[in-house]
Amino acid sequence: MQKADLIIIGAGPGGYEAAVEAARLGMSVVVIEAARVGGTCLNEGCIPTKCFCRHAEVLEDVREAASYGISCGEPQLDMAAVVARKDEVVARLVSGVESLMKTPGITYVQGKARFVQPHVVGIEGGNELFEAPNIMIATGSVAKYLPIEGAHLPGVVSSRELLSLTQVPRRLCVVGGGVIGLEFAGIFHTFGSEVTVVEFCREILPNFDRDIAKRLRTSLKKRGIRFETQAAVTAITRDDVGQLHVAYDEKGKAGECVADCVLMAVGRTANTASLNLDEAGIAYTRRGITVDEHYQTNVPGVYAVGDVNGICQLAHAATFQGFHVLHRICGAQDAIRPDIVPAAVFTVPEVAMVGSTEETCREQGVTYRVLKSFYRANGKALSMNADDGLVKLLVDDAGRILGAHILGAHASDLIHEVAVLMNLDVPVSRLHDIIHAHPTLSELLLHLA
């Protein structure tokens, strides 16, 4: 039996960042990973999709070149080259994390971990056992498939498979208008697919500010993406010529989308199947492993961070939950605010948010006022040909910032200025005294009214 101060199961952004930090703090750490270090984020999530987003951006820029007085022919996309560049970027980052796993204090074990006892973990197919007073489960999530006929037909894929397609499908049907679905809808539309998004809810991006989501849908529609909202997909069938027929019920009316490829983007579910949680008496629900406000499970010393606890399925949330657990283990305090987690959608235009939405304020009976500033009045935005967008701030009676919602170019960068102000509890009135460089998109925050 090998003993350590901490066992971490899963080397995604929740697990690997915590492992390095724990070693830095002087702990002996065993990291167990079943597949490749980096987890979903590096291998089949954040990074590969952002590579694809960049390809789409370049393609779009070349297509628009004539409007800048630059003439070049119709650009051709080599999908195999797109996938190869993505693989190269991923390999570089994975190799960086592999090096980090050699940090003194870390023992890296390749294999699938399963609980033998509450504080003892074994490896599937092996005899070695590991024991620690503290265990961090960071096993992430897996793509969900709708429980309908045809959900597993050839051509119906999850985001993982879509990232390896070497041919652009002529028609792509995206089932689910959440973050992942919309990013792929935007990418493949730019790559040349005819894209239809079928969403069950009344509006896309159900957890985002409704007004911003509606504006994004309008922008994407203008670009040529089709949307069917309040549409419940009921079955998928494949005809003789290999076309996929996605049947849906739209407010009581039957509809159909014919496609060559269907992306299932209906959410992700906690990855707990292989862990043998019952053996260790660790409580979980369909949402994920049950944890308290410090990410501790019902078994003292056993924690669950990241996608596997179902609280917030974002890479940086996983990382900071992991850091918080380490601080708890060391008996240290930290100032991490789990309620201030920026989130971004890498569509064109981008969307980003932090804090409360108008909907959550109303649900919680919080009074708020809305301040707005528009990209069309910002010099830098116009110079970039990016006048579509706005910044929207929600503030309370005392001028405290409750939330921010941005639609527009570089929203994913701009949101952090507001996140900093919220973390430091700076009232919105102070913003006007903070000198911003000109001409920048950041000036949008100076002109909120």
Residues engaged in binding ligand FAD (CB under 6 A): 9-15, 32-35, 39-41, 45-46, 49, 112-113, 138-141, 159, 180, 271, 274-275, 306-308, 313-316, 318
Tell me the closest approach of the beta carbon of residue 94 to ligand FAD, in angstroms.
10
CB under 8 Å to 289, separation ≥6 — which residues? 137, 270, 272, 277, 282, 283, 297, 304, 308, 309, 310
Q: How far is the CB of 331 from ligand FAD (least distance, A)?
A: 24
Least distance (Å) between residue 412 CB and ligand FAD: 9
Cα-to-chain-centroid distance, residue 212: 18
The CB-of-296 to ligand FAD minimum distance in angstroms stands at 16
Q: Burial level of 14, CB count in 10 A (0-12/13-18/19+)?
A: buried
- Least CB distance from residue 58 to ligand FAD, whole Å? 18
Nearer to ligand FAD, 216 or 275 (CB): 275
Q: Which is closer to ligand FAD, CB of 6 or CB of 448?
A: 6
Q: Which of 12, 176 has the CB closer to ligand FAD?
A: 12
d(CA 305, CA 302): 10
Nearer to ligand FAD, 315 or 421 (CB): 315
In this structure, the chain runs to a length of 449
Quick check: is 438 catalytic?
yes
- Six token digits for residue 108: 């890296």
- CA-to-CA dists, residue 89 to 11, 43, 97, 304, angstroms: 18, 10, 13, 29
**Residue (271 or 356) nearer to ligand FAD, CB:** 271
Active-site position among 152, 294, 432, 438: 438
Burial grade of 276 (CB within 10 A; 0-12, 13-18, 19 or more) = middle
**CB of residue 45 vs ligand FAD: minimum separation in angstroms?**
3
Token pair of 165 as six digits? 């397609």
Cβ 271 to ligand FAD shortest distance, Å: 5
Q: Which residues contact 149 (CB under 8 A, 6 or more apart)?
A: 235, 236, 237
Q: How many CB atoms lie within 10 A of CB 47?
A: 20
Report the residue number, 41 or 175, with the smaller CB distance to ligand FAD: 41
Secondary structure of residue 11 in the 3-state scheme: coil
Among left, alpha and beta (phi > 0; psi -120 to 50; other), residue 192 is left
Show the DSSP H helices in 36-166 as ranges. Answer: 39-44, 46-63, 79-100, 159-162
Measured from the CB atom, is 306 or 378 closer to ligand FAD?
306
Q: Which of 81, 82, 92, 96 is nearest to 54 (CA)?
A: 82
The catalytic site residues sit at: 438
